Amino acid sequence: MNPLLLESAVALADRIRRGAVSSEEVVEAHIGRVGQVNPELNAVVAERFAEARVEARAADLARARGEDRPLLGVPCTIKECFALTGMPNTSGLVARRGLRPDADATAVRRLRAAGAIPLGVTNVSELCMWMETSNRVYGRTNNPYDPSRIVGGSSGGEGAIVGAGASPFGLGSDIGGSIRMPAFFNGVFGHKPTGGLVPGTGQFPQPADGALRYLTTGPITRRAEDLMPLLRLLAGPDREDAGSRAFDLGAPGDVRLEGLSVVSVEDDGGTTPVTPELREAQERAASWLSARGARVRRARIEGLERGIEIWSAMLDAAEGPSFRSMLGRGVDIDVGRELLRWVVRRSPHTLPALGLALVEQLPKRLPGRARRALVEGQALGRRVIEAIGDGVMLYPSYAEAAPRHVTPLFPPTRWAYTAILNVLELPVTQVPLGLSRSGLPLGVQVAATPGRDHVTIAVAIALERAFGGWVPPPRLADRQS
């Protein structure tokens, strides 16, 4: 691979700043890589290569004039649910075809103000609410390590294109694992910020009330050193997202492994078993941290086994628009009718989306159980925060390495490991831990208490040094760009 495709955004920005390489060269290398891998992956669903080339030339001229911005001339990609001026913004919904915003989402605007150059937008699951990235607008995205496997969702296009080495970083969003699962399945880093740290203004769909802090916007990167600089650029209220709030962010460099409290929770204690290979990878990470002086203990936390039910009840309690009404752009769809149309391949919706529309009313039909789940969620939050303290928690990312297409429907609840951390509003970094015996990415979630994003990122940086971080997909290594 072209060495430029292996470097972090920070390193690329530094090389451009010093004149060691031009933005045009960096952008062209990544455009070439997209051209090599995307026909198989279907990760970038709309490109803006011509505009990116113009912006790269402008960045080189700006640098020659002495202009200095953190990401000046560095390419990136953007999840299609974020408004990017002039680009599609369907969120995988057929009814939104043709919609092209005339202004950038807040997070996109902040990245571009720092000098980043978007190459295009990437695929999502329908309305960003399922863990397999597939929809009736763009089709399905395939995993760069094995195209028969899923890329996760809903930021699956981002995970795949970053994992393939065709983008240094991407912008994702996460309400139930939509940054962390794609990062995990595609072998890269992803950070779900503390709830409210990064405004979600300008992405669709948008939740309401308390759920504004369950939905988080954050980076997906091939190198851990990019996470904190990108988070600093993205963070801070924008006066539009009512859930956004200010935090004084710490520095990863100030975190010391010696004496750091680490609680390793190997599964949810329920009906979602984790494969031995993933447990072993997490144990290796815990043991390595222990050898560096961290105070590691293994534990179970009561209540995690009800993660999906608690997540569903807390999301429902936020009283936002129903999923079936979002599918119908403000008018409830007839789910039964659409299921019949799906059977004969005439529905504009995917089966997971229709399934969610069907079951979303369960909390309202079982109000007593939903109220109990809310109380249990509050108690669970207190237990998790007490267990973590001023340290971190290691927790599985999913029950297995990237599963085959469609199989996450059977059963459809194995994403409990990521979802529960959204409603607890914790910062979480997804960390790659090498490849499995079958060549699929392994990894672990690193969580901390609210506002301590720098601690999870510090641990991610340390584990990258220990275990190598992102491993470019061996099957794509011979594709030149």
From the candidates 8, 79, 173, 312, give the one annotated as an active-site residue.
79
Paired tokens of 121: 């937008």
| CA gap 299, 319 in Å, rounded | 34
| CA gap 157, 133 in Å, rounded | 7
From the candidates 8, 23, 155, 178, give the one annotated as an active-site residue.
178
Cis upstream peptide for 205 (omega within 30°): yes
Beta carbons of 318 and 210 less than 8 angstroms apart = yes
**Alpha-carbon separation of residue 335 from 188, 326, 353, 354, 384 (angstroms):** 36, 12, 10, 6, 37
Beta carbons of 234 and 110 less than 8 angstroms apart = yes
| CA gap 288, 304 in Å, rounded | 25
Whether 264 sits among the annotated catalytic residues: the reply is no
Q: What does the DSSP 8-state code read for residue 162?
A: H
Classify the C-alpha dihedral 82-87-89-91 as positive or negative: negative
Paired tokens of 466: 């220990």
Phi, psi of 257, deg, nearest 5: -70, -35
For tokens 């803006």, the residue is 48
Side-chain-facing half-sphere of 473: CA atoms under 13 Å:
24
Whether 79 sits among the annotated catalytic residues: the reply is yes
Beta carbons of 151 and 133 less than 8 angstroms apart = yes
Cis upstream peptide for 167 (omega within 30°): no
**313 Cβ neighbours under 8 A, 6+ residues apart:** 363, 370, 371, 373, 374, 377
| CA gap 198, 172 in Å, rounded | 11
Residues in the chain: 481
| CA gap 465, 441 in Å, rounded | 16
Side-chain-facing half-sphere of 59: CA atoms under 13 Å:
33
Whether 178 sits among the annotated catalytic residues: the reply is yes
- Degrees, nearest 5: CA angle 223-227-230: 120
The number of beta carbons lying within 10 Å of the beta carbon of residue 343 is 10
- Exposure string of 180-213, with b = 16+ CB inside 10 Å and e = fewer, is bbbbbbbbbbbbbbbbbbbbbbbbbbbbeebbbb
Paired tokens of 458: 């510090």
For tokens 């010093």, the residue is 18
- Strand, coil or helix: what is 76? strand
Active site residues: 79, 154, 178
